[in-house]
Amino acid sequence: MTDNDGRQQIAAVAFIRENLRLQPTPSVPEILLYAAHAGSGLGRLGGPGEAASATPYWAYHWAGGTALARHVLSQSHTIRGRRILDLGSGSGLVAIAAAKAGAAHTVAVDINAHAIAAVGLNAAANGVAIDTMQADILDDLPEACDMILAGDVFYEAELAMRVLPFLTRCRAAGIDVLIGDPGRAPLPRERLRLVATYAVADFGDAATGKMSGVYSL
């Protein structure tokens, strides 16, 4: 990490602490997350010089990740003792669920510096240890792991065209894959097996009622 990267991380941590609220996650109340509210001022993060990936998705709960976190906690025997990689971690909700479920090692991967900062803060708030990696790993195989958890990674067609080959390569290498998604159009349902469904809260709606699926590849 360069000095500039270090300064960016310090600034990101400070912004999240000062402008987001630590609170129980809708549909997964046993996990606390720093979440956006009306006065968070997230619009300040998208100014000149910010990459397109600066969109603050890490400050909200999303149905796919929420369903996946709920599944991981409910089926902890499938996680316990395994090495987990949380792809596109965002807030770290799924990674935290994996750590709470007894994962031997959990890595949260995201391309956004504020997401990485959020994962660190949220992990500490929940008393779990999670390693983080700020990187785009979709053109390679990941570091050694037993399972990849991927919540809300099929929300747009262009990203889906990169994510599916990556996950397919991982599966061919013997890595288990679980995907959480509320049924968005780019989700390749024909390539997946539905494992479970959960009625969960979605971004902008705290009500528990968005049917979302957990799929294996």
Cα(111)–Cα(98) distance, rounded to whole angstroms?
20
| pLDDT tens column, 165-201 | 999 999 999 999 999 999 999 999 999 999 999 999 8
- Decide: residue 77, CB within 10 A, 0-12 exposed, 13-18 middle, 19+ buried: exposed
Please compute, for residue 80, the number of CA atoms within 13 A of its CA located in the half-sphere on the CB side: 5
pLDDT band at 208 (very low <50, low <70, confident <90, very high): low
* Closest among 90, 65, 73 to 30, alpha carbons compared: 73
| Higher pLDDT pick, 40 / 75 | 75
| pLDDT in the model for residue 5 | 67
Question: What pLDDT score does 3 carry?
Answer: 62
Q: For residue 8, what pLDDT is reported?
A: 78
Nearest to 82 by CA among 65, 62, 98: 98
Residues 6 or more apart in contact with residue 61 via CB below 8 angstroms: 25, 26, 27, 28, 33, 35, 91, 93, 201, 202, 203
Using pLDDT thresholds of 50, 70 and 90, give the confidence band for residue 6: confident
In this predicted structure, the answer to whether residue 58 has a pLDDT above a threshold of 50 is: yes
Residue 149 corresponds to which tokens in the numbers above? 């958890």
Q: Is the pLDDT of residue 37 over 90?
A: no
For the chain, give the longest Cα–Cα distance.
46
Kind of pairing, strands 83-87 and 147-151?
parallel
Confidence band, pLDDT 50/70/90 cuts, at residue 49: very low
Q: Residue 54: is its pLDDT beyond 70?
A: no
Instruction: Give the per-residue pLDDT at 143.
Output: 80
Which of 23-27, 81-85, 138-142, 159-163 shows the lowest mean pLDDT across its residues?
138-142
Looking at residue 203, its pLDDT comes to 77
Contact of 97 with 28, CB cutoff 8 Å: yes
Q: Domain total for the chain?
A: 1
Q: How far apart are CA 214 and CA 196, in angstroms?
A: 5
Is residue 21 very low, low, confident or very high in pLDDT (cuts 50, 70, 90)?
very high
d(CA 86, CA 63): 16
> What pLDDT, on a 0 to 100 scale, did the predictor assign at position 56?
86
Give the C-alpha separation, 197 to 176, whole Å: 19
3-state secondary structure 157-177: HHHHHHHHHHHHHHHHCCCEE
CATH at residue 54:
3.40.50.150
Domain that holds residue 61: 3-216
With 50 as the cut, is the pLDDT of residue 47 above it? Answer: no
